[in-house]
């Protein structure tokens, strides 16, 4: 057990249907303006007819442990928070967009009010012991908020024995989102 938190997510793409409830819940929770989103859903199809395969994923900022956005931010607006997440301090952000160029996940955008915005992992909710808006609403239970410094039984069980990956791991960003691959066989 560690007193220091290190929040991230385990996303089970085996069950995700790409419904986008997570996206709308986030838009309402975080007042994301029309035409913008902090999280989004990707549906990938591969193979050749009729042997097709599919993966649905809810994507967002990866809250990297080695975040290029933080590295390249000239003003410390993008920073690591105590809980292991990456946050943007709006009152320091000049909107230079270096972080956007730096992010291998294209997770950020310029808010119309003139600062760079992205998923906060609902820091304001986590602080109060709640789950993120997207995790709370997800009908499939695909989204799981996990403190990787203090993994509970449920999270461990979820990850055990399955093909789990992280996106663009070779970018060296140490992302905090872990994906249970849709390529897992039933009962894996």
Partner 1 sequence: MSHGQNFSRRDFIKISSIFLAGSAAVTTATGHAFSGADDQVGDEGSRVVYSFCEHCFWRCGIAAHVRDGKVYKITGSEHHPLSQGKLCPRGTGGTGLLYDPDRLAHPLIRETKGGRQFYRKASWEEAISLVAEKLWNIKEEHGPGALAMLHHGYGVSFFKNMFSQIGVNKYAKPSYDLCCGPARQASVLTYGYPSDTPEGFDMKNSKYMIFFGTHFGENMHNTAVQEISDGIRNGAKIVVFDPRFSTLAGKAEHWLPIKPGTDIAMMQGLMHVLISENLYDKAFVEAHTVGFDELRDSVMEMTPEKVAEITEIPADAIRTIAREYAFHAPAAFVHSGRRTNWYGDALQRIRAIHILNALVGNFWMPGGVVAFKKFPLVQPPAAHEHPAYEKEAYSKYPFFPQDEPSNTITSHEIIEDTIAGNIKGLLIYGVNLPETMTLGRDKAIEAMKKAEFVVAVDVLPAEVTGYADVVLPECTYLERYDDLDNGRAFRTPFVALRQPAVAPMYDSKPGNEIAKMITEKWGIHGAFPPSVEKGLDRKLKLVGSSLAEIRKKGVLVMPETDLYRKPGESLNLKTPSGKVELASAQLKAAGFDAVPKYVPQPEAPAGFYRMLTGRKPMLTFGRTANNRFLGDLATAKENEVWVNNRIAEKHSLQNGEYVHLKNQNGVVSEFPVKVKVTQRIRTDAVYMVHGFGHTSAKLTWAYKRGASHNQLISRTDIDPAMGGVGFQNNFVTFIKEA
Partner 2 sequence: MLATAVNEIVSTKLNPNVVPHLHIWEWHIPLYLFLGGIAGGLLVITSIMIVLKRKFGIGPRDEGNGCPCLAVRIGSILSPTLLGIGMLFLFLDLAHPLYVWAFYTTVQPTSPMSAGSWILIAFFPLAILQAMLVNKRQLRDFNIEIVNKVIDWTENHMTMVALVNAHIGVGIGIYTGILLSFFSARPLWSSSILGMLFLVSGISAAAALMLLLAPKDEKPVYSMIDANAIWIEIMTVGLFVLGGLTGSANSHGAMMHLITGDVNLAGMSYMFWFWGIFVAAGLVVPLLLEFLEAAGVHIRFPNVAPVMVLLGGLVLRFLIVFAGQTYHTFV
Binding residues for partner 1, per CB under 8 A? 12, 14-15, 17-21, 23-25, 27-35, 37, 40, 43, 45, 47-50, 52-56, 90, 124-125, 128, 133, 136-142, 182, 186-187
- Which residue of 16, 67, 86, 93 would you call a contact of partner 2, by CB under 8 A? 93
Specify the pairing of strand 115-117 against strand 109-111. antiparallel
Segment (H or E) for 158: helix 153-159
187's contact among partner 1, partner 2, none, with CB below 5 to 8 A by partner kind, is partner 1
Specify the pairing of strand 40-48 against strand 51-59. antiparallel
User: What are the tokens at 91?
Assistant: 């009152």
User: Looking at beta carbons only, is 71 or 150 nearer to partner 2?
Assistant: 71
Nearest-approach distance from CB 111 to partner 2, in angstroms: 8
Minimal CA–CA distance to 134: which of 15, 41, 44? 41
Nearest-approach distance from CB 121 to partner 2, in angstroms: 18
7's contact among partner 1, partner 2, none, with CB below 5 to 8 A by partner kind, is none
Q: Does 7 help bind partner 2 (rule: CB under 8 A)?
A: no
User: Looking at beta carbons only, is 43 or 94 nearer to partner 1?
Assistant: 43
> Which residues lie below 8 Å from residue 53, measured CB to CB, with a gap of 6+?
45, 46, 47, 182, 183
- With vertex at residue 57, the alpha carbon angle to CA 6 and CA 23, rounded to the nearest 5 degrees, is 80
Interaction mask 37-76, partner 2, x per CB under 8 A = x--xxxxxxxxx--x-xxx------------x--xxxxxx
**CA distance linking residue 39 with residue 23, whole number of Å:** 5
């Amino acid at each position: 057990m560690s007193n220091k938190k290190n929040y991230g997510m385990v996303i089970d793409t085996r069950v995700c249907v790409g419904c986008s409830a997570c996206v709308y819940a986030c838009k309402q929770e975080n007042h994301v303006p029309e035409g913008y989103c902090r999280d989004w859903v990707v549906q990938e199809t591969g193979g050749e007819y009729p042997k097709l395969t599919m993966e649905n994923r809810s994507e967002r900022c990866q809250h990297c442990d080695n975040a290029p956005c933080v590295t390249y931010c000239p003003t410390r607006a993008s920073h690591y928070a105590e809980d292991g997440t990456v946050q943007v301090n709006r009152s320091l952000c000049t909107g230079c967009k270096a972080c956007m160029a730096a992010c291998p996940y294209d997770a950020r955008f310029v808010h119309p009010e003139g600062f760079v915005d992205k998923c906060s992992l609902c820091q304001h909710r986590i602080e109060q012991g709640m789950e993120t808006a997207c995790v709370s609403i997800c009908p499939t239970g695909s989204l799981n908020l996990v403190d990787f410094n203090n993994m509970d039984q449920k999270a461990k069980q979820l990850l055990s024995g399955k093909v789990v990956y992280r996106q663009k791991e070779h970018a060296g960003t140490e992302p905090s989102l872990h994906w249970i691959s849709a390529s897992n066989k039933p009962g894996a």
